[in-house]
Amino acid sequence: MLSTRRFAALAATLLITLAATGCSSSPAATGTPAATGTPTASAGGGGGVKVAALFPGLVDDQSWNQAGFEGLKKAETGGATIAYTEKVTQDQQVEVFRNYAQQGYNVVIGHGGEYMDAALQVASEFPNVQFVVTNGNKSAANVTSLALSYGDMGYLSGVLACSMTKSNKIGLVVGETIPVANDSIKGWKDGCARVNPNAVVTVSVTGDWADTDKAREAALALVADGADVLGHLLDAADAGVFAAAEDKAVYSIGLYGDQSKLGPTTHIGAAFADASLVIYNAATQPLDGKANSEGVAEGVVSFGAFSDKVPQAVRDAVKTAEDDLKSGKTQF
């Protein structure tokens, strides 16, 4: 496992090298890495690495995609030349990966575990190109997975949810049952069992990370079944979960950071995870061809943004659970 300290040290070393080649940045013409999506390219400092990224949604979604894009832009300020394509669907993945590799990009990143199989396929064709999958769970000689610990995030969210529920029913809306989603679901259920073994976490899978209407409908169905706390593992579709929580006056829990703007009266806390750091590290660090996970113990995942509705005793319970993850007493 690559530690956050090692990430920082490796990134700093490479950025010093890039800085020596110049750090000016200016917009460039739109690239042509694929016939699908909306490819965009910009030039970093001369001599810097060329990094391309595939995003499943829009880079201004105020969620997963935007966080990754911010990490990519941070790498650009260090001298990297970047390009990216938004809304890359499963049937487009291989083509977009391949075209970026053919255009001479040194590192090609798929921002999400759904890109795992396509990255492995194309990587075998381009052994001198490094491929990275964020939230992936497999690896190869030139394929590195850098994953946030969704088990840690789910565990802390479950502790909060099952400490606050009155109905003993929790609703969790996810986009797809990819490996990180399964980790999250297990975390929610284990965290719940830690504080309230009578509570039940019910999962609804929408099949879409960005469809707000589907997420809202799924959340409303969970509330109709008795859920009084809602959580999610979604991208832009998360707004639908918070809208349902606001409509029905049930609690909601954020992901990746404080999402109280989406649920101003119902948001009671959030799991924090720096998804921008994962992309930034992918763009700047030496890659090891392994599957790596970063969570509470590595300083990447934490919990906070508690609302006034959360009693101190519940906050303390979440903090104790976080400390147990940090010390290794609790592991996923």
CATH code at 4-148+275-294: 3.40.50.2300
Cβ-based neighbour number of residue 122 at 10 Å: 25
Report the DSSP beta bridge partners of residue 9: none
Query: Structural domain boundaries of the chain?
Result: 4-148+275-294, 150-264+299-326
Question: DSSP of 240-251, one letter per residue?
Answer: HHHHHHHHHT-E
Q: Give me the sheet containing 291-294, strands edge to edge.
A: 26-27, 38-43, 81-86, 50-54, 107-111, 130-134, 143-148, 291-294
Do domains 4-148+275-294 and 150-264+299-326 share one topology? The answer is yes
Considering only CA atoms, which of 7, 78, 53 is closest in space to residue 281?
A: 7
Residue-level pLDDT at 10: 33
The pTM (predicted TM-score) of the whole model is: 0.71
* pLDDT per residue rounded down to tens, the chain (332 residues): 333 333 333 333 333 333 333 322 222 323 334 434 556 755 443 348 999 999 999 999 878 899 999 999 999 999 999 999 999 999 999 999 999 999 999 999 999 999 999 999 999 999 999 999 998 999 999 999 998 999 999 999 999 999 999 999 999 999 999 888 999 999 999 999 999 999 999 999 999 999 999 999 999 999 999 999 999 999 889 999 999 999 999 999 999 889 999 999 999 999 999 889 889 989 988 999 999 988 999 888 999 999 999 999 999 999 999 999 999 999 86
Q: What is the pLDDT of residue 179?
A: 84
Q: Provide the pLDDT for residue 16.
A: 31
- The architecture of the domain spanning 150-264+299-326 is 3-Layer(aba) Sandwich (3.40)
Give the per-residue pLDDT at 19.
33
Joined together, the tokens standing for residue 132 give 């990275």
**DSSP character for 140?**
B
